[in-house]
Structure 1
């Protein structure tokens, strides 16, 4: 989904999700036009497919952007499926993924300007690293299961 983009500065967000034997995780980096970064790593105690984890990352990032009243947002992600579903190039076949897509579209509608593009996995390394943090690694960061870093 793409809304008309203007020359006004926008926020950017790199987003990624991962799923492994320890559960699934999400990571995103939200950057203001001035370069201020908000980095999040979330670890979920449920198992999920990689596509579901990608959506969890996207939805968490969209919720954060909405909460801090971002109006213009450019998202970069490496999931071909998620990017193409959000941009309405692919349809969701699975009911659970369709529910995530619906939630993402609802959140996207709250932005004045929005775009989402697929990038190669090697260009999304920081968000990928955040999504892969294990529970043990998160527990070492001040004993919390959600890591946030503001730069």
Structure 2
């Protein structure tokens, strides 16, 4: 699965492409209608992709992402220092544990172009899609596990 997120003044979005060993693809774009940093958009893509893979009963999952921060946090090489990022990381790790095998690795941006395009589609571009891409609007951040103190 390839994942990417994007946040700028014009568009906030996330995208992922889940491909089976036989070549069947699920392409998904998420429109984020809430304020999100680029890293939060990256996590939105990852979490949506993990949830989709789990829902269709994927057992072995390899993820490719171009976000050094997200890949290294999920792999345990970096800490999540901000509370919101820590919450995203906790949810990602919870989802990762549901797969028999899981790996996440960083790829150069040029090898993640399709997921990048999905994360950056404007409303006008989304309206022109032919149904081969699933589109979902998120009005709030992913429903994340929250600790109650």
| TM-score where L is the length of structure 1 | 0.84
Matches within 5 A, 1:90-129: 90-129=78-117
For the residues of structure 1 that align with 2:67 and 2:91, how far apart are their CA atoms? 17
Match in the other structure for 2:143:
none
**8 Å CA contact retained: 1:23, 1:48:** no
Match in the other structure for 1:64:
52
For the residues of structure 1 that align with 2:83 and 2:54, how far apart are their CA atoms? 25
**8 Å CA contact retained: 2:15, 2:119:** yes
Do structure 1's residue 148 and structure 2's residue 137 form an aligned pair? no
Do structure 1's residue 42 and structure 2's residue 6 form an aligned pair? no
Match in the other structure for 1:9:
none
**8 Å CA contact retained: 1:23, 1:46:** no
**8 Å CA contact retained: 2:11, 2:121:** no
Between Structure 1 and Structure 2, how many residues are aligned? 134
Provide structure 2 residue ranges, at least 5 long, that are not aligned to the other structure: 136-149
Would the alpha carbon gap of residues 22 and 134 (structure 1) be closer, same or farther in structure 2, given more than 3 Å must change? same
The CA RMSD measured in Å over matched residues stands at 1.6
Match in the other structure for 1:76:
64
Shift of 1:23: 4.1
For the residues of structure 2 that align with 1:55 and 1:70, how far apart are their CA atoms? 19
Paired residue secondary structure (2:125): helix
Paired residue secondary structure (1:103): helix
| Divergent runs of 4+, >6 A | none
Provide structure 1 residue ranges, at least 5 long, that are not aligned to the other structure: 1-12
